[in-house]
């Protein structure tokens, strides 16, 4: 089977690119299962009911997020109505939402998606390593194919989790930095890995936002509101071919598709 993962969708430019490009990409790549990170989909920060409604016609099997998941107050309601929407599983107990989703392909192959957040340079969340152990134990044998979206800042932490889960999950793919890395590979135990898949949004600015607003923060060291940039929009994704009988990755390919209309 082929799993297609689309990296952080940034604001309206990213959503438009996703709406235009994803259906064609699914057909061309013959993708069986689609996971999309939407944590920046609402104006660059968080996700809202209107955003999910806009994306509802797309054949997406699971939606992941990250540290901006709490930026919109409506998210608690979204977790109640949309079981495909995940938040990092290693937030303290008592938070709304869940960090594990089990869906299936059209052929009936179960696919588990795990959403985790890093600790290094991030919030004081629980250990992603221990949380992964717990979720895999809870999962049991319900799914051989297990995909992990690891939303983290430090490349070392992302690579460490990949090594830690090698042979136990099908893929560990990083998000959060918005910069695609060229280190995609299959680890010795059969787990596909990429430090960061990159963002689906405008590459003209700084990690998807207008350069002048970002520079104001760096130059003056005072608060400045960020605004999503508009031009050079691209869709960043990773395609992973997985043996559904063993859960091991067979191949993977990094994708960066320009939105010619964006």
Position 141 confidence tier, pLDDT thresholds 50, 70, 90: confident
0.85 exceeded by pTM: yes
Residues 107 and 110: their CA atoms lie apart, in Å, by 9
Report the candidate in 184, 259, 250, 168 with the shortest Cα–Cα distance to residue 3.
Answer: 250
Contact 46/68 with Cβ under 8 angstroms? yes
Multiple choice CATH, 2-258, 3.60.21.10, 3.30.300.180, 2.60.40.1180, 3.40.720.10: 3.60.21.10
Domain ranges in the chain are 2-258
Q: For position 224, what pLDDT does the model report?
A: 84
pLDDT in tens, 170-201: 999 999 999 999 999 999 999 999 999 999 99
Residues 101 and 118: their CA atoms lie apart, in Å, by 19
Contact 135/99 with Cβ under 8 angstroms? yes
Q: For position 262, what pLDDT does the model report?
A: 62
Contact 78/55 with Cβ under 8 angstroms? no
Q: For position 260, what pLDDT does the model report?
A: 87
pLDDT in tens, 198-255: 999 999 999 999 999 999 999 999 888 899 999 999 999 999 999 999 999 999 999 9
Residues 170 and 153: their CA atoms lie apart, in Å, by 22
Residues 108 and 193: their CA atoms lie apart, in Å, by 25
Q: Which of 68, 101, 151, 176 is catalytic?
A: 68
More confident residue, 76 or 187: 187
Q: State the burial class of residue 216 (Cβ atoms within 10 Å of its Cβ: 0-12, 13-18, 19+).
A: middle
Active site residue 61: no
């Amino acid at each position: 089977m082929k799993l297609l993962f689309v990296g952080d969708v940034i604001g309206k430019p990213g959503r438009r690119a996703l709406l235009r490009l994803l259906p064609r990409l699914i057909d061309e790549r013959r993708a069986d299962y689609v996971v999309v990170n939407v944590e920046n989909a609402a104006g660059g920060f968080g996700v809202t009911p209107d955003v999910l409604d806009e994306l509802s016609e797309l054949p997406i099997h699971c939606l992941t997020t990250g540290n901006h998941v709490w930026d919109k107050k409506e998210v608690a309601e979204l977790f109640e109505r949309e079981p495909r929407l995940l938040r990092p599983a290693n937030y303290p107990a008592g938070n709304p939402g869940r960090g594990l989703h089990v869906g299936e392909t059209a052929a009936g192959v179960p696919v588990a998606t795990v959403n985790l957040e890093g600790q290094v340079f991030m919030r004081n969340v629980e250990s992603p390593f221990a949380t992964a152990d717990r979720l895999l134990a809870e999962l049991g044998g319900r799914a051989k194919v297990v995909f992990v979206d690891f939303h983290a800042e430090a490349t070392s932490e992302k690579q460490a989790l990949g090594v830690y889960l090698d042979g136990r999950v099908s893929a560990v793919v990083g998000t959060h930095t918005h910069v695609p890395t060229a280190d995609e590979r299959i680890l010795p135990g059969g787990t596909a890995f990429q430090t960061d898949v990159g963002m689906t949004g405008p590459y003209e600015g700084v990690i998807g936002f207008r350069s002048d607003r970002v520079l104001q923060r760096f130059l003056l060291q005072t608060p400045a509101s960020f605004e999503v940039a508009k031009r050079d929009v691209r869709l960043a994704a990773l395609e992973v071919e997985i043996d559904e009988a063993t859960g091991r990755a067979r191949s993977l390919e990094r994708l960066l598709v320009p939105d010619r209309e964006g």
